[in-house]
Amino acid sequence: MTPEMRPFSQSLPMALLRAREAAMRRFRPMLAEHDLTEQQWRVLRALSASDDPVSIGEVADHTFLLGPSLSRILVNLEQRRLVERSTNEHDQRSALLTLSGDGHALVGRIAPRSEEIYNGIEAQFGADRLVALLEELAALSSLDTVPDHIRAEVS
């Protein structure tokens, strides 16, 4: 034993991983039915969240995917006609992504089942409690995110 370190069971990264596994266990079968990996789904989900085209870099930030990973995922999703690419007229370097009609349709088929699973978690865990947990997670995530007005002063 290494008593100097907090118990494995109380490690924050492990607790987060464990909780995520517990949640994903409910969602995975549904994604598998549609031949989607978690990462592919994160991309579709990020695009479905916006009416406007989103740059590849923004999608990478939102989905926690690295450039090379995202590039290959996009090749796959474009071949499946779920995602469409256009070029930003104001900056020829950056590509803009949108969900295709098929992409919207697929998300639309998955959405109600996702909500169902979500409602099940809310019913067991408590809706208010879940909202509170999400708030705490957001607060934790933004700990090292320097607010914009401060960053402007620093840099």
Partner DNA sequence: TATTGTTATACTCTATAACTATA
Partner DNA sequence: TATAGTTATAGAGTATAACAATA
List 93, 123, 152, 153, residue binding DNA (CB under 7 A): 93
Binding status of residue 50 toward its own copies by CB under 8 A: yes
Q: Which stretch binds DNA (CB under 7 A): 3-11, 67-75, 121-129, 142-150?
A: 67-75
What span, in angstroms and rounded, lies between the C-alpha atoms of 56 and 43?
10
Tokens of 90: 């104001």
List 95, 117, 121, 130, residue binding DNA (CB under 7 A): 95
Q: List binders of DNA among 125-154 (CB under 7 A).
A: none
CB proximity list for 78: less than 8 A, separation 6 or greater: 84, 85
Least separation in angstroms between CB 78 and its own copies: 20
SS3 (DSSP) at 70: helix
4 versus 92: smaller Cβ distance to its own copies:
4
List 30, 34, 45, 76, residue binding its own copies (CB under 8 A): 45
65 binds, among its own copies, DNA, none (CB under 5 to 8 A by kind): DNA
Binding status of residue 20 toward DNA by CB under 7 A: no
Long-range contacts of the stretch 95-98 (C-beta < 8 A, 24+): 95/55, 95/56, 96/53, 96/54, 96/55, 97/47, 97/53, 97/54, 97/55, 97/56, 97/59, 98/47, 98/53, 98/54
List 11, 37, 87, 94, residue binding its own copies (CB under 8 A): 11
